[in-house]
Chains A and B, each alone.
Chain A
Amino acid sequence: MGTTRTTEILVGAFMAAGFLALFFLAMRVSNLSAAGDGDGYALIARFDNIGSLKVRAPVSMAGVRLGRVESIAFDEAAYQAVVTLRIDAAYDQLPTDTFANIYTAGLLGEQYVSLDPGGSPDYLGDGDQIEHTQSALVLERMIGQFLFNQAQEDSE
């Protein structure tokens, strides 16, 4: 009986240690502790061009992370990208005329959504749409614009 009991205790300790390790991986290593799925509220923003924005990209205001990009869809009627942003429930005072931009972190970094607050006294709620958006800057388009302007100046 004694050996069976020791075995059982050791197996119990082993399984507890295994689950503890899984818990560690979930909470400390992955992003489960930060903004779990389904928390917070959703905002919808339509962009003419989202560049290379990815799902799970950060959404920030004043450089502070408020949430993340939940999904990206394509609206075939308007030929626009429909980006769903999941904002943490703690930040529920974004004005209705908030402005959404797509910026790039660093020169070659990943793209993220930056929100600039407006002045409206009303706040955005779950499922609301952000009216003012600015597309991602596409490098080729900027260079093309620059060359075009340059050529125009030369011909004048």
Chain B
Amino acid sequence: MVVTDALARLGRAGLTALAGVGRAHTLLAAIIVGLPALLPRPRLLIAQIFNIGVLSVLIIAVSGLFVGMVLGLQGYYVLNQFGAEESLGVMVAASLVRELGPVVTALLVAGRAGSALTAEIGLMKATEQLSALEMMAVDPVRRVLTPRFFGGCIAMPLLAAMFSMLGVLGGWFVGVGLLGVDDGAFWSQMQSKLDFREDVINGVIKSLVFGVVVSWIALFQGYDATPTAAGVSQATTRSVVHAALAVLGLDFILTALMFGE
């Protein structure tokens, strides 16, 4: 029966997807439950903030600077046509603080650090290091996954803030330094149009959410990977793709909730 076969395939796919969602949430719960055990050992957390945060600073800094410079250049040519080049600061800062800072940082971290996390956990699973930990009565979720998760959650907002700051400075460099926008107007228009709570804090909340989602997806894909070389490579790909899709989708929802009236 072709029809029942097709239905069975659809059902199986649905059930598999649902089981994956369930495993992901169970893992997240186990990771968060491990937080009290992490607090007395901040060394583990510091090492992960180093891996995820410090090692990503270079790419975040360079991307932020260049995104800001391009925004300054493009924004100037459009605004110049309306004689509104003084608004360049508002345009650059608002787009960076509200959207580009959190989103591009999350995408870069997913590519730079998320993939590494997935590969690391997946390989630990493939080489049975996680089972070895369990044999020594060490919970691998608490010992290995929890520090990585919270390291990602802490590093992401800080990286996004650096991205936005360097982007604004890049836009300032191009706009004021190269194209001759008035320095005072650039900053004063920015300050009068951007609100601390509305814009900056909402951007930080966004990057915090992205930090949770990117670390969660990366760790789950690694922990759930088929323990073979092919499985780990597939999981790494999935980690980046899923993280990017989740970040972009969530960004739309968060923007609608935060800035839609």
List residues of A whose CB falls within 8 A of some B CB. Answer: 4, 7-8, 10-11, 13-15, 17-19, 21-22, 24-26, 28-34, 37, 56, 58
Of B45-53, B141-149, B220-228, B236-244, the stretch lying at the interface with chain A is: B45-53
Which residues in B have their C-beta under 8 angstroms from that of A21?
158, 161-162, 164-166
A11 and B194 contacting across the interface, CB-CB below 8 Å: no
Which residues in B have their C-beta under 8 angstroms from that of A17?
57, 158, 162
Which residues in A have their C-beta under 8 angstroms from that of B107?
none
- How many contacts A-B (CB < 8 Å)? 88
List residues of B whose CB falls within 8 A of some A CB. Answer: 43, 46-47, 49-50, 53-54, 57, 93, 97, 154-155, 157-159, 161-162, 164-166, 168, 187, 190-192, 194-197, 199-200, 203-204
Top 3 nearest A-B pairs (CB, nearest first) are A18-B158, A21-B161, A21-B165
Checking B49, B187, B195 against A14 with a beta-carbon cut-off of 8 angstroms, the contacting residue is B49
Q: Can you pick out 7 interface pairs between chain A and chain B where the beta carbons lie within 8 Å of each other?
A: A14-B49, A18-B53, A18-B158, A18-B161, A22-B200, A25-B161, A58-B192
Q: Is the interface of B mostly helix, strand, loop or mixed?
A: helix
B46 and A7 contacting across the interface, CB-CB below 8 Å: yes
In whole Å, how far is B59's beta carbon from the nearest beta carbon of chain A? 14
A31 and B191 contacting across the interface, CB-CB below 8 Å: yes
Which residues in B have their C-beta under 8 angstroms from that of A18?
53, 157-159, 161-162
B190 and A29 contacting across the interface, CB-CB below 8 Å: yes
A31 and B192 contacting across the interface, CB-CB below 8 Å: yes
Checking A7, A15, A25, A58 against B200 with a beta-carbon cut-off of 8 angstroms, the contacting residue is A25
Q: Is the interface of A mostly helix, strand, loop or mixed?
A: helix
Contacts A11-B53, A28-B191, A29-B191 known; 14 new A-B pairs at CB < 8 A: A10-B50, A11-B49, A14-B57, A15-B154, A17-B158, A19-B158, A21-B166, A22-B158, A25-B165, A25-B203, A30-B200, A31-B195, A32-B196, A58-B192
Q: Which residue, A10, A26, A30, has most C-beta atoms of chain B within 10 A?
A: A30
A30 and B158 contacting across the interface, CB-CB below 8 Å: no
Which residues in A have their C-beta under 8 angstroms from that of B159?
18
Which residues in B have their C-beta under 8 angstroms from that of A13?
54
In whole Å, how far is B236's beta carbon from the nearest beta carbon of chain A? 25
Interchain CA distance A33-B97 in the complex, whole Å: 17
Which of chain A's residues has its CB closest to B163's CB? A21
A15 and B191 contacting across the interface, CB-CB below 8 Å: no
Which of chain A's residues has its CB closest to B194's CB? A30
A15 and B199 contacting across the interface, CB-CB below 8 Å: no
B93 and A29 contacting across the interface, CB-CB below 8 Å: yes
Which of chain B's residues has its CB closest to A24's CB? B165
B53 and A30 contacting across the interface, CB-CB below 8 Å: no
Which residues in A have their C-beta under 8 angstroms from that of B93?
29
Interchain CA distance A62-B206 in the complex, whole Å: 40
Known pairs A14-B53, A30-B195, A30-B196; A25 contacts B97 (CB<8 A): yes
Checking A7, A31, A33, A58 against B50 with a beta-carbon cut-off of 8 angstroms, the contacting residue is A7
Known pairs A7-B50, A25-B164, A26-B200; A15 contacts B194 (CB<8 A): no
B162 and A11 contacting across the interface, CB-CB below 8 Å: no
Known pairs A14-B49, A14-B57; A22 contacts B204 (CB<8 A): yes
